[in-house]
Every structure is written in C-alpha cells, then in structure tokens.
Amino acid sequence: MKNRLLLLFFLFLGALLPLRVNAQEPVKRSTETTKIGGKEYYLHQVKEGQTLYGLSQVYNVTVEEIEKLNPEVKNGLKTGHVLGIPVRPVAEPQAEPKVEPKVEPKVEPKVEPKVEPKVEPKEEPKVEPKVEPKVEPKVEPKVEPEVEPKAEPKVEPVIEPKEEPAVEKPQPVVPHKEAYTNKGRVVRTGEDLYDIAKEYGIDISDFKFANPGLTDTPAVGTVINVPAIANDNDYIVHYCERNERVSSLLKRWKVDESEFRAKNVSVGSHVFTNQVVLIPIQPITDFYWIQTAHNEVVEEEEKIDEVEPTPEPQAVPHLDFDLEMGEIPVCVPSAANAAKRYQVALMVPLYLSDIGSIEVSKENIAKTRKSRAMSFLQFYEGFMIAAERLEKQGLKLDLTVIDVTDSESSGERAVSEISGMDLDLIIGPFYGSAFNVVEDYAKANGITIVNPVTSRMSVIEDNPNVVKVKPGNMGMVFTLSNLVKNSYSDANVFIVSREKAEDSLFLSQLEHHLNLAVNSEVTVSGDAFLQYARNESERMEMGNHIVPTVDVEGQTYSTDDFQNGGTEQVVIDNPVKRYAYSEIGQVKSQLSGVRDNVIIAYGNDNVFATQMLNTLTRQAERFPITLVCAPDWSKYEKLLVDNLLKMNAIYVSDFFVDYESDEAKQFVRRFREKYVGEPRKYAFEGYDVGYYFLSALMQYGSDDLIGCLNCYEAALLHTNYRFYYKNYLDANGNDGKENLYWSIYQYDKDNIELVPLDPFKNNRGND
C-alpha cells in the first residue's frame, strides 16, 4: 500500500512539473553590462515568472550573491526591476550530463530507501541506522585530521601552531577607522596567503592587487599590505583557478566540506576556471592589526616601519594649485601665428581595410555606420566640421588623415608615413599600443601629441609633449573642491565610497582639498533650530506640542533654549567627514536638519548607486540633501532619476552636451546637412578636440603651443579644457599636460531638463 501511494505521488509530481516549466519565463542572459570598479556586471531586467534560482543558473552565480547585490529581492522579484549580476563564464558543457544520473535514480526502486526515511521517519525507525553508516565514513575522515586540531582556538586557527601563548588575544582592538590604512602584516611560520585572507575576510586577488608580485606561499617574515576593504559577510567570494577541484579548495582554504557544501549547494565535485564559489569564514566583527611576536626577528619590525610611511602628504597639492607651482607665465596671442600654415596629422582607427573606402553613399550610410569600420568615423566628421569653421576664420591647414588601428605595427606604419614631415601637431592614435609608438616619435622630434580618449594618468608620464584631454582623479579633486568652495562652503559635507584599495590616495586627496574648501566653523541661527524642531514635531504628529530636544549632527539641543531666546545662534565645527559605504549608519546619524548636507558618492557602480539611493531616499524626506554623483552616474538615469530628484542630484561626467545652447544647435544642424545623420558622442568629442587645438595653434603657434594651453580657453560643446602650465605633481617638469575639467550638471528647478553648472561660480545665487 505504501509503495502504491509513493508511486502515485511521483506520478502526480511528474504531471505538475511540465506545468511549472511551461509557466516559468525562460531566462536569457542580458547583453547590457556595466563596470563596477574593476569588475563587470550584467544589468538584467526581471520578467514575469522568473525566479532567483533560474537567474543564478543562467548567470552562473549563487542566489546569495544576487540577494547581497540587490537586497530588495529578498522580498520577492518584481517584474521590470533591474538587477546587477556579476559577469561570470558560462558553465562548461561537461557539467550537463551530471544532472541526468541524479534524475534517473529517483524513478528507480533504489530511490525509495532514500525517500522513505524523510517521508515516514516515525513509522520505520530501522531506516535511521541505514543512513548513519553512509554519512559517518564520509564526514569523519575529513573532519578529524583538519578540524579537530583547530577546534580549541576557534577564532584564530591559523595562528595556533606558534601564536597560541596569547600573543594576539590580549591586544586591544584598534579602532575601525584606524584599521583602514596600509599597515603591514608579517607572514608567520606555517601560514600562507589563504590563511591571511581568511583572517581578514578578503579574497587573495585583492591581496595580490595591493601587493604586486605576491605569491600564494610568501616567505616567513614577508610584510604584506592589507587592503582597506571591509567584509561584513561570513564568506569570501573566490574565483576558481584553472584545474582546481573542490578537494583542492578545501585543502587550500582549510575549510570543512559540510560547511563548504552548505554555502555552495549547486557545486559538484569539479569546478571550472573563474567559477565563483563561497568560502565560509568566521564573521569578522572588527578589523585589528597583528603585532609581531616576541620570538620574531627584529628585522621584520624594521620592515614594517619602512612600509608605513606613505607618499600621500607629498602628493596632495594645495587647493590653490597656483601657489604650489609659483609664478605662471602669461602667453600673448600673435597675429603672425594666425597667418602661418600648419601641418597636422589626425590618426583615427577607421579600419578602412574592412570597406576599402571612406566614401559612403547616402542610401547605405545608416547600415555602414554600425560596422566596426565606422565606429570612430564620427570623430573624424566632427573634427572636419571644426576645421571647416576655422578655415573660414583664416586657418591655413594641411591635414593628413591616417588610419591607425589597435596594433603596434599600425603605429609603426603611421610613423613611417609621417617621417620627414614638418608636423606641428599630432592628434591620436586612439589605442595604447599604437599610441606608445607614435608618442616616442613625437617626443624625439619635439611635436605636441594629443591623446583624445584615454583617462590613464600613465600616458603623460615622462613625456612633456603629451596632452591628455580626458580628465582623471586630480581633475575631479580640482572640480569638486571648487564646486564646494563656491556653492557649499557652509554645508555639512560627506564623502561616501566603496573604499577600494586603489582609490585610497585619491580619496585622501579629495578629503584634504574639501577641508580647505569648506569653512572650518559655521554659524547657524537659533531660528533654524526652532524650525527643525517644528518639522520634527509635525513628522511625529505631536499637534501643537513641540519636541523638547532635537538631535543635530550627533549633538542634542534643548528647544527651550531657542524658544526663550537664550540661544540666538550656534557655532558648529565643520570638518569634512569620510566614510565607506559599510559605515553608512554613521552618515545618517550625522545628517543636519539646520543646514545643507552635501554627500559626495564616489563610485562608478550601478549596485553602489542603487544602495546609496535606497539608503538615503527616506533621509531626504527629513533632511536637506544634495547628492553629488561621481563619476558618470548619468548612464543609470532611467533607473534612479526619481530618487535622484529628491536629493537635488549633481552629476559629474567627462561628457555633457547642452542641446539648448546655440553652439550645439548650430553643430547638430551642420552635421545633419553634411553627413546625413545624427551626431553622437564621438562627433562632439572630435569637434571639441579639433576646434580647441587648431584655434590654439592660430593663437600661439606650434613652438609655444603646449606651454600656453594654461592661458587658452575656447567655447566647446561637450566639456571645457582646463590646463595648468606644468603638471602639479611633477616637480621636474618631465610629464605632459592633463585636462582638469569635469562637467557638472543638474536638473533645473522644474525638474524638466539637465542644465550645466559652473564649479567656479556660485550656482545657488542667494539661496
């Protein structure tokens, strides 16, 4: 009878399964991705019927990872919601056959003994001993040799062999803020990089990034920089290496198989390259720094002293860059320069070999523009419109256009083509391998060369002839500090970021400059405190009553003092506050209800942006918040714009076109007439590069061009260029020039359209 019921159950379940499969929306891997720091993420839009498990299978991630990156999904998936999902390789085809042997045995009679203990454990107690002998031989041999020696010192099993005499436990925990530095960690006897990674809850890849050349088994006494990365999880995300197996993972990471299986339920006995697994660790409640033991060599302590000093104090320039660089020479335009004829080489990756000709008929132009051969064509077209405009103003130009693609040999061919020409300016190439070749030629021949696309700082190193037009981190420091100085000097300013190790120097520089930009003390009237108290009373529905006290920026004030006129004003210290996103609770506790709060959120990361907005949206209903989104959050506009409006969001980007300006309208009209199409990003960039540098040649000539860029400004379309007469971090003058200007813009008061802001002016008027 029991077997008959069991058979009916399976038949009923088999009838239901096809219905469920048919009702479920198939998951297709998204083609839209975004960069999060150095890692890539898919942007997946949820469709009706899709599940977290289905998403995890298609994208090769765990359900726990999706929930961690998108906390809102814990309440269920919502149709139309966009999720951030890590980019991972698709599982190898070999993994598919493993599913079949698991499905077939369930139908055969052999499955019944496995099912019966779970269905009717009370009726057949004899089944229990059948299960135990199967479990014990598998678990005990693996647990005893590895886990038992570490069972006593549960907190620090790695240190047990030599550090058990309470070297670390008696030491006080260093404060969390102090822990975020690049202090050294000395490798001890018997431990490897996996032990240290578990100790701090940080993957070995992050340790290797912070310590170039570091191996999995560093020598005893090696001093390792600990990355400033917080991990509030009870696991480490690990990317599997080639030929790695689960058995080798367990051995390297020194974890129990049962704990590993609990975190990785879908992982079999094999893993493939770059597959993600979760390594279970003890929850890390705080960060602390391990001191060297008494029996360690003194030389190791001396090595730590050598690691601790950082170049940050020397690398941080003053807010007024002019003071640091001394007297700036003044360049005077010359009419003689405008009368000269200039030879310019424009090196653009047109891939002409793919199509044979740059001439495109009007009938096929739309189709052709989508090919690789035409991907950078609009840069050329925008450049030519700028040259055409300047020729009408008297420019005499001999332009050589060279197709330089993404190979070193392409750069060498370009050099052979321009060899012997008396060039005044080179623009391009676009790709690094080709640019390096042409850059060396330009340096040897004293020719100014412009890199139009890269944001890498290294491109201007050790070559004073290079000009980089894409702004970098110091340009952002320059732009944001001027924005705060001119518009928010009395505000309560925060920096919130992911605190990645590679960003630490930039964030220190930004914090330093912002502290120079804000007023060190701010005077707030008692009326502002009273108004905030009334708002709080209304929020708590207290009727005619008023709250007895208010909390402002971490301090408690009595409302009686302001009502009775005893306190007419309050002086508040005004340092800039810097936190990692993991410390967002401290940000919320220090928001002000009596003055503006400016929160600079640094991170080009869709997940980070979503988390910031989800956290701060409710706070914006209570506190006046201006959120500065840096850099380039505009590409997430469709996802976040409603919440961004609540916080008066200011975008920071290296590209913004004000289509309402007369210059932009005129350019769009001319582009349509000349090229029968709509101008896109490269068209505007090509126009600005061409117009700025060709008109600068007409002002100062080729000999003084790079030395006079600090004196020259021009009306451009998608950005502005701001150069200083020498590199502010290069004392010897061996580096080239970098544009410092980032575009900033904000929705107008009616929240209808984005308008540009000028960081060098007060954008708030009398507000």
The pLDDT of residue 491: 96
pLDDT band at 765 (very low <50, low <70, confident <90, very high): low
- Say yes or no to pLDDT of 474 above 60: yes
- Say yes or no to pLDDT of 2 above 70: no
- Say yes or no to pLDDT of 134 above 70: no
pLDDT band at 198 (very low <50, low <70, confident <90, very high): confident
- Say yes or no to pLDDT of 654 above 50: yes
Residue 16 lies in a domain: no
The pLDDT of residue 531: 93
Domain co-membership, 529 together with 605: no
Structural tokens at position 45: 């839009």
Lowest mean pLDDT among 55-69, 400-414, 489-503, 646-660: 55-69
Residue at which a domain ends, from 547, 573, 599: 573
- 335: exposed, middle or buried (C-beta count within 10 Å: 0-12, 13-18, 19+)? exposed
Residue 2 lies in a domain: no
Higher pLDDT pick, 442 / 172: 442
Residue at which a domain ends, from 538, 573, 608: 573
Structural tokens at position 675: 């090229």
Q: Is residue 279 a contact partner of residue 244, using CB atoms and an 8 Å limit? A: no
Domain co-membership, 551 together with 586: no
**Can you tell me the mean pLDDT for 222-232?**
76
The pLDDT of residue 240: 78
Structural tokens at position 408: 């070193």
The pLDDT of residue 490: 95
The pLDDT of residue 147: 36
- Say yes or no to pLDDT of 730 above 80: no
Q: What is the tens place of the pLDDT at every residue in 36-76?
A: 545 677 888 888 888 888 888 888 888 888 887 776 777 77
- Say yes or no to pLDDT of 285 above 60: no
Instruction: Outline where 278-351 has alpha helix (H).
Output: 298-307, 312-315, 321-325, 335-339
Beta strands in 17-110 (DSSP E): 33-36, 39-45, 82-86
Looking up residue 412, the CATH number of its domain turns out to be 3.40.50.2300
- Say yes or no to pLDDT of 639 above 60: no
Q: Is residue 686 a contact partner of residue 378, using CB atoms and an 8 Å limit? A: yes
**Reduced to 3 states, what is the DSSP secondary structure of residue 522?**
strand
pLDDT band at 410 (very low <50, low <70, confident <90, very high): very high
The pLDDT of residue 255: 86
**Can you tell me the mean pLDDT for 139-148?**
39
Lowest mean pLDDT among 284-288, 635-639, 711-715: 284-288
pTM over 0.85: no
**Can you tell me the mean pLDDT for 582-602?**
93
Lowest mean pLDDT among 364-373, 454-463, 571-580, 730-739: 364-373
Using omega within 30 degrees of 0 as the cis cutoff, is the peptide bond preceding 452 cis? Answer: no
Q: What is the tens place of the pLDDT at every residue in 673-695?
A: 998 889 999 999 999 999 999 99
CA distances for 431 relative to 39, 384, 407, angstroms:
21, 21, 8
Domain co-membership, 428 together with 368: yes
Q: Which is nearest to 437 in space by CA: 405, 406, 465, 411? A: 411
The pLDDT of residue 70: 77
- Say yes or no to pLDDT of 16 above 50: no
Residue 141 lies in a domain: no
Domain co-membership, 159 together with 288: yes
Residue 9 lies in a domain: no
Residue 105 lies in a domain: yes
Domain co-membership, 350 together with 446: yes
Residue 433 lies in a domain: yes
Lowest mean pLDDT among 336-340, 433-437, 536-540, 726-730: 726-730
pLDDT band at 92 (very low <50, low <70, confident <90, very high): very low
Q: Is residue 66 a contact partner of residue 73, using CB atoms and an 8 Å limit? A: yes
Q: Which is nearest to 392 in space by CA: 721, 686, 691? A: 691
Higher pLDDT pick, 547 / 123: 547
Lowest mean pLDDT among 230-234, 390-394, 515-519, 610-614: 230-234
Where is mean pLDDT largest: 264-278, 284-298, 453-467, 624-638?
Answer: 453-467
- The residue behind tokens 């726990």 is 64
- Say yes or no to pLDDT of 289 above 90: no
Q: Average pLDDT over the chain, rounded to whole?
A: 75
Task: Quote the CA–CA distance of 611 and 603 in Å, as a whole number.
Answer: 11
Residue 663 lies in a domain: no
Looking up residue 82, the CATH number of its domain turns out to be 3.10.350.10
DSSP bridge pairs for 755: 746
Task: Quote the CA–CA distance of 319 and 421 in Å, as a whole number.
Answer: 42
Task: Quote the CA–CA distance of 465 and 709 in Å, as a whole number.
Answer: 12
Instruction: Outline where 282-334 has alpha helix (H).
Output: 298-307, 312-315, 321-325
pLDDT band at 170 (very low <50, low <70, confident <90, very high): very low
How many other CB atoms are found less than 10 A from the CB of residue 446? 12
Residue 489 lies in a domain: yes
Dihedral (Cα; 466, 471, 473, 476), 10-degree rounding? 140
Residue at which a domain ends, from 280, 314, 348: 314
Tell me the DSSP string of 555-596.
Answer: EEEEHHHHHTTS-SEEEEE---EEEEGGGHHHHHHT--SSS-
DSSP 554: T
Q: Is residue 255 a contact partner of residue 158, using CB atoms and an 8 Å limit? A: no
The pLDDT of residue 253: 84
The pLDDT of residue 144: 40
**Reduced to 3 states, what is the DSSP secondary structure of residue 422?**
coil
- Say yes or no to pLDDT of 130 above 70: no
pLDDT band at 90 (very low <50, low <70, confident <90, very high): low
Task: Quote the CA–CA distance of 390 and 740 in Å, as a whole number.
Answer: 25
Domain co-membership, 565 together with 583: no
Residue 535's domain comprises 522-573
Domain co-membership, 457 together with 372: yes
pLDDT band at 164 (very low <50, low <70, confident <90, very high): very low
Where is mean pLDDT largest: 158-167, 240-249, 619-628?
Answer: 619-628
**Can you tell me the mean pLDDT for 210-223?**
83
Lowest mean pLDDT among 26-35, 138-147, 441-450, 473-482: 138-147
pLDDT band at 317 (very low <50, low <70, confident <90, very high): very low
- Say yes or no to pLDDT of 9 above 80: no
The pLDDT of residue 260: 84
Domain co-membership, 87 together with 51: yes
- Say yes or no to pLDDT of 281 above 50: yes
Cβ-defined contacts of 136-145 (< 8 Å, 24+): 139/257, 139/258, 142/250, 142/256, 142/257, 143/256, 143/258
Where is mean pLDDT largest: 164-173, 308-317, 622-631?
Answer: 622-631
The pLDDT of residue 230: 64
Domain co-membership, 762 together with 731: no
pLDDT band at 162 (very low <50, low <70, confident <90, very high): very low
Task: Quote the CA–CA distance of 12 and 474 in Å, as a whole number.
Answer: 66
DSSP 245: B
- Say yes or no to pLDDT of 127 above 50: no
The pLDDT of residue 677: 86
- The residue behind tokens 């006129």 is 565
Structural tokens at position 304: 């730590």
pLDDT band at 481 (very low <50, low <70, confident <90, very high): very high
- Say yes or no to pLDDT of 627 above 90: yes
Where is mean pLDDT largest: 183-187, 349-353, 420-424?
Answer: 420-424
**Can you tell me the mean pLDDT for 323-338?**
74
The pLDDT of residue 361: 52
Where is mean pLDDT largest: 126-135, 349-358, 388-397?
Answer: 388-397
- Say yes or no to pLDDT of 422 above 90: yes
- Say yes or no to pLDDT of 499 above 60: yes
pLDDT band at 530 (very low <50, low <70, confident <90, very high): very high
Domain co-membership, 99 together with 44: yes
Tally of domains in the chain:
5
Domain co-membership, 487 together with 435: no
The pLDDT of residue 39: 67
Higher pLDDT pick, 189 / 445: 445
The pLDDT of residue 115: 39
Backbone φ and ψ for 138, nearest 5 degrees, come out as -80, -35
Lowest mean pLDDT among 342-346, 750-754, 755-759: 750-754
Domain co-membership, 689 together with 762: no
